[in-house]
Amino acid sequence: MKNKLQQSDSGNQLRPVILLLAIAVILPTVCLLWFMVQAAGNESLALRQKMVNNYEERLKASVNEKLSDDEINRHIALVMSDGFIVFDGDGRLTFPVDDETDPLKSESVFEQAFELEYAEKDLEKAITEYLRIAKDTVSKDIAIKANISNIRCLRQLDRNGEAINQAESIVSQYEDSSKYIRSQKCHAYLLLMELCKDRDKEQYNKILSDAFDHFTQGMYHNDDMAFLGRKSHVGLYIPSSLQLLALNRFIEYAGERQDDPAIAKKYKYATYLSSQVDTSLQLALEYSGPDFAKPGIINSSVFRLKGNEPYYGIYRVISGYTYLKIYSKEHVASWFNELVEEIEDEMVYCRIYDDKGELIAGTAPVYIGKEVVFGQKFSTLELDGYMAGWKAEMYFYAGTFSDAAKRQRIIYFVTAGIIVLLIGAASTMATKSIMHQAAVNRLKNDFVATVTHELKTPLASMRVLVDTLLEGNYNDQQQAKEYLELIAKENKRLTGLIDNFLTFSRMERNKQAFEMVPASAKAIALAAAEAVKTKFNGGICKFTVTIDDDLASISADTDAMVTVLVNLLDNAYKYSGDEKEIELAVYDKNGQMCFAVKDNGIGMSNRAMKKIFERFYQVDSRLSRDAEGCGLGLSIVKFIVDAHDGTIEVDSETGKGSVFVVKIPTQTKG
Ligand code: ADP
């Protein structure tokens, strides 16, 4: 009862300590976690800002570099334009060249011939008339027109051979001395390309080749500044729509003859030039004067041109001529792709939009319905300084940024986790140590209480006896002697108790040094039997000692081992009823020296068996119990047996008795 009280008392005392400890652990842990969460949040914000700044700087630097005048000029020089429009110093359109109505259409010299050809449909006579005109005239323009008209009539009469001859003589006879002659020669070549297809390959390829050269004469088609080459030919141009027609025909005929490398090359140029002239013609409808040129700006940056298709222009003023160079979206995009490629990486992508919001370069957005499914825009840079109304946008890939932040957070939480674990481990250790300290304190208290009680009983009985003797309350000498013997007995018991306490206390301080020497189990057993003999003989006790012969020797501290056996025998005596039967047996089994102490006493429950080796444990813990002792005997036994690398086992049954077997490893037989 008292023990329990003491335990719950100390439990109460521990409670505030454990509470404090818990606060000391939980509070910093919670604070730490809170700080970590805050830090992680701040860190991810800071990280984002850092990245944003970084990319913005990169974009600005790239824009400065890639969109500089030099760089754009480099592009203009390297990339052939997709079309061009040229105005002279007076703002007149110089290229593409308008189709003019035939200036010789109403020339009086042709009146009669036209009458014959168109009104009278007398082609034979018309031919004679055309040949006459050609022969008589001094004007090359009139001569060539007459010859071409002659060919027209021959064709209508299906006189193709003559028509071809005529056409061949036209292209070889006439020099390109006028715009008109060039145009008429164009018609002659068109005719030759059409009518000579049956000629052998070489001859026909030559016709094709010559035709191409004529169609493109004056265009430096291996240089983007093709139109510049026209300057010296001003006035000699083939009208652009005729040129386009001629080039397209060439493409048609040459397309089947690309096995000839020279033709293949010209075919490629023709394809490019045809599209260039076509685009130029389209855009020229929108720009009939150089109204795109901004006052005060000589050379412009890229700007979006009018019209349905996304074409971009850039103009340059060279030698008084204003050149509007036209680029398709793909071409412009290729310039900007260089810029975009410098910015984009696995985390960020970039988009360049023109002033009409058309995506020029960069990763196209992916839509589901109207929602953009990936990416988060974090920056927009107006490119006004370079391209009015243009802008560059930068996006984080969805998840990329949050992944980086997540990684950072994981690092934080793992660190926090480790710290919390360490705090937890440290506090567990601290708690354990405090608990241990508390247990030791409790033990000390118990010890003092038990010691006091155990000492009080023999002291009290000794005092009664001494008082009786002093007061002379005894009948005779014999009685006085009996009293003195009782005093001596109590004294001895007291000494025994104190010995036990001292042994225990020494053991507690771990100062018990055992002297291990080869020892004889028999001698130990006999010494123990001798020690208890007087006591056992005094009561009604049947005590048998059985020692096997030829026992191996053990390494042991003899005195300590005697103490072990005496304690066990003492217990057997104490916890047995009136008809005590105690047996001490020593035998050698499986390399173990066994000391068995058996009694027919009160025995004990299984639960008790597990606890009896604990310090101060007593099955009957009432202070009023009969048996003397303080619950240390078996602790001492266990301590000594452990020190001998041995074991102690107990087998007991309530009311029937107990057997304690101490096993010590044997050495050699001796
Ligand atoms: P004590 O000084 O109380 O004898 P011990 O440590 O020697 O202390 O024994 C602890 C308890 O084990 C005893 O209080 C007793 O209840 C029980 N005990 C020990 N030996 C025996 C035995 N031979 N028979 C029954 N109970 C025993």
Kindly report, residue by residue over 242-262, the tens digit of the pLDDT: 999 999 999 999 998 888 999
Q: What is the pLDDT of residue 224?
A: 45
Buried b (16+ CB within 10 A) or exposed e, 411-444: ebeeebeeebeebeeebeeebeeeeeebeeebee
Whether cis (ω within 30° of 0) applies to the bond prior to 458 is no
Query: 592, 587, 582, 596: which is closest to 549 by C-alpha?
Result: 587
> Is pLDDT above 90 for 464?
no
Q: Sorting pLDDT into bands at 50, 70 and 90, what band is 474?
A: confident
Residue 613 predicted with pLDDT over 80: yes
Say which DSSP state 307 is in.
S
Kindly state the average pLDDT of the residues 331-357: 86
Backbone angles phi, psi at 624, to 5 degrees: -90, 5
Can you give the pLDDT at residue 234? 56
CA distance 655 to 602: 4
Whole-number pLDDT of residue 433: 87
Burial label, 516 (beta-carbon count in 10 A; 0-12, 13-18, 19+)? middle
Q: Residue with the nearest Cα to atom 7 of ligand 1?
A: 633
Residue 508: pLDDT above 90? no
- Nearest-angstrom CA–CA distance, 562 and 542: 20
- CA dist 70 and 426 (Å) reads 68
Short-list 224, 217, 220, 242, CA closest to 96: 242
Residue 626: pLDDT band (50, 70, 90) is low
Rounded to an integer, what distance in angstroms lies between the CA atom of residue 241 and that of residue 186? 12
Q: Crossing angle, helix 179-195 and helix 160-173, to 10 degrees?
A: 140
- Decide if pLDDT at 221 tops 70: no
CA of 640 to the centre of ligand 1 (A): 17
Nearest alpha carbon, ligand 1 atom 3: 631
Residues 6+ positions from 210 with CB-CB distance below 8 Å: 171, 189
Please report the sign of the dihedral spanned by the C-alpha atoms of residue 621, residue 626, residue 632, residue 637. negative
Ligand 1, residues 454, 570, 571, 648: which to mutate, most atoms within 8 A of Cβ?
571
Which atom of ligand 1 is found nearest the CA of 601?
A: 24
Distance CA 244, CA 248 (A): 6
What is 169-233 written as a DSSP string?
HHHHH--S-SHHHHHHHHHHHHHHHHH-TTS-HHHHHHHHHHHHHHHHTT--TTSGGGGGGGGGG
The residue count of the chain comes to: 670
> How many Å apart are CA 227 and CA 486, to the nearest integer?
143
User: Which band of pLDDT confidence, cut at 50, 70 and 90, is reported for residue 1?
Assistant: very low
**pLDDT band at residue 670, thresholds of 50, 70 and 90?**
very low
Looking at residue 235, its pLDDT comes to 59
* Residue-level pLDDT at 4: 39
C-alpha closest to that of 334 among 302, 292, 380: 302
Q: Are 43 and 378 in contact (CB under 8 A)?
A: no
Ligand 1 centroid to residue 555 C-alpha, Å: 27
How many Å apart are CA 489 and CA 465, to the nearest integer?
12
Q: Among 19-28, 82-91, 362-371, 604-613, name the most confident range.
A: 604-613
pLDDT for position 329: 84
Residue 215 tokens, joined: 């169609």
- 401 vs 150, more confident: 150
Residue pair 580/542 in contact (Cβ under 8 Å)? The answer is yes
Separation CA 317–CA 275 (nearest Å): 24
pLDDT over 70, % of the chain: 89
Which of 516, 497, 504, 505 minimizes the C-alpha distance to 561? 516
Question: 32 C-alpha vs ligand 1 centroid, how far in Å?
Answer: 53
- The fraction of the chain above a pLDDT of 90, given in percent, is 32
> Which of ligand 1's atoms lies nearest the C-alpha of 603?
25
User: What separation in angstroms does the CA of 150 have from each of 99, 170, 189, 457, 552?
Assistant: 23, 11, 15, 159, 146
Q: To the nearest whole number, what is the mean pLDDT of the chain?
A: 83
Quote the ligand 1 centre to 443 CA distance (angstroms).
18
- Segment 54-76, tens digit of pLDDT: 999 999 998 888 888 788 778 77
Of 437-441, 483-487, 590-594, 624-628, which range is least confident? 624-628
pLDDT at 21 (0 to 100): 73
Helix (H) or strand (E) holding 660: strand 657-669
DSSP per residue, 23-91: HHHHHHHHHHHHHHHHHHHHHHHHHHHHHHHHHHHHHHHHHHHHTSHHHHHHHHHHSPPSEEEEE-TTS
Q: Which of 466, 535, 452, 435 is nearest to 498 (CA)?
A: 452
Pocket residues for ligand 1 (CB within 6 Å)? 571-572, 575, 599, 601-604, 612, 617-620, 629-635, 658
Of 63-77, 239-253, 259-273, 638-652, least confident by mean pLDDT is 63-77
The more confident residue out of 231 and 103 is: 103
| CA–centroid distance, residue 571 to ligand 1 (Å) | 6
Single out the residue of 379, 378, 380 nearest to residue 401, CA to CA: 378
The reported pLDDT for the residue numbered 401 is 62
What residues form DSSP beta bridges with 662?
595, 648
What are the tens digits of pLDDT across the range 545-603?
999 998 889 999 898 899 899 999 989 998 988 889 999 999 999 989 999 999 999 99
Tokens of 551: 């026992």
Going by alpha carbons, the residue nearest to atom 11 of ligand 1 is 618
Poorest-confidence range of 19-23, 132-136, 314-318, 349-353?
19-23
Strand order from edge to edge, sheet including 359-362: 359-362, 348-353, 391-396, 376-382
Contact in structure between 93 and 292 (CB atoms under 8 Å): no
For atom 14 of ligand 1, the residue with the nearest CA is: 618
Model confidence at 162, pLDDT cuts 50, 70, 90, reads very high
> Are the C-beta atoms of 378 and 396 separated by less than 8 Å?
yes
CA distances for 424 relative to 11, 26, 419, 427, 430, angstroms = 22, 9, 8, 5, 10
pLDDT band at 377 (very low <50, low <70, confident <90, very high): confident
Ligand 1: nearest atom to the Cα of 613: 6
Average confidence (pLDDT) over 404-411: 75
Q: Whose CA is nearest to atom 8 of ligand 1?
A: 631
Residue of the nearest CA to atom 21 in ligand 1? 571
